[in-house]
Amino acid sequence: MARAVNTKLVSTIDCPGGGQVCWDNNILYVSHMQPTNGTSIYDVADPKNPKLLARLEIPMGWHSHKVRAANGLMLVNYEKFREGAPEFGGGLGIFDVSNPAKPRLINKWTVTGEGGGVHRYDFDGRYAYISPTAEGYVGNIMMVLDLQKPEAPEEVCRWWIPGQHVAGGEEYPWNDYVRPRCHHPLRVGNRLYVSYWHHGFYILDFSDMRKPTLISGVNEGADNPHPTHTALRMPGKLKGRDILIVADEDVAKLYPSPPAFTRIYDITDERAPVQIATFQKPGLDPDGAPQIPMTGCHQPAERFHGNIVPFAWFANGLRLVDMSDPFAPKEVGCYEPDAPEGCERASSNDVTVDPNGLIYLIDRQRGLHIIESTVV
């Protein structure tokens, strides 16, 4: 049976498993994990009765498991996924969704070289902050696109960690380690907070949009068995401090380990981030014993209100974490869904919150839950 603390299920959408969910003006955009399912668009003006408006497909060999929408535009990613349809190519699909029931492809921005495509990204209605593969580089890098003219995206800048640009003569130093990979950048003001998978996270000065510069970074290397998924800046000061949530993902373990968790950094002095706390789902790691992947943390919501941050915690569903005291994050609610039919357990993959406080939680295997909470 589903378990709910300070939460209540409003409705469930029976849809293919998803990688990301995005709310914009009572329209819910859902990206799916497995081809040929691409992106679904729902009207959620009545959250008790969501209505499917449109569904896009993707060829075998690719997936389109991320989506962002703003200002009448929808961006979906195209990333290599197993085998098939090599001619399709990776990149971004840019759609006009002024009529969300009839999404219209404006342009397909394609990565250069033989890369796998675009992984995760953010979009503010004009600029897309993306993580593409690129010709001459090893692994995904950070890039910003200007979509003021969506039919002709303009690259604003790119950034990478030294050693990735092998075509530029950089010596590649990671032959015995996981290759570098930008997971995705998030912008707050004139800063970019960039997660870099098994290579930590970085804070970039974005004052000159065409020349982002490194302020600092933290890379624990093989000391941390889990990859860094998200570096999320809290929007306001907490106890007079600037706070960065750094979520590690419970996959791609370097060695057997307990479930991944979230770390809290004080970045008041950006040049020297200091870890001040951690958060793990209560009771999940009783003895430090290794557990199977996709048990622990996946990611925090990138859209939320106040100091309570919803997290997708893979097999343990939705966790609502109060960050008011950044030295002692506290769980104040949860929703642990039942396993989808035919699955051994849930696999909550992404979560977002709308302006009314409704929470949208997608399972990567099947189904989406719309949840209300007394604390959000």
Rounded Cα distance, 371 and 318, in Å: 10
Tell me the mean pLDDT in the region 104-114: 91
Domain containing residue 303: CATH number: 2.130.10.10
pLDDT higher than threshold 80 for residue 278 = yes
* Confidence (pLDDT) at 234: 98
Over residues 286-345, the pLDDT tens digits come to 999 999 999 999 999 999 999 999 999 999 999 999 999 999 999 999 999 999 999 999
At 143, the pLDDT band (50, 70, 90 cuts) reads very high
Strand order in the sheet with 359-363: 7-16, 366-373, 359-363, 348-353
Is residue 145 a contact partner of residue 107, using CB atoms and an 8 Å limit? no
Q: What is the pTM of this model?
A: 0.97
- The token pair that represents 350 in the structure block: 């992404």
Is residue 166 a contact partner of residue 138, using CB atoms and an 8 Å limit? yes
Question: Domain containing 33: what range?
Answer: 3-373
pLDDT higher than threshold 80 for residue 114 = no
Over residues 47-66, the pLDDT tens digits come to 999 999 999 999 999 999 99
Beta bridge partners of 192: 187, 204
CA angle 247, 249, 254 (to 5 degrees): 120
State how many domains the chain has.
1
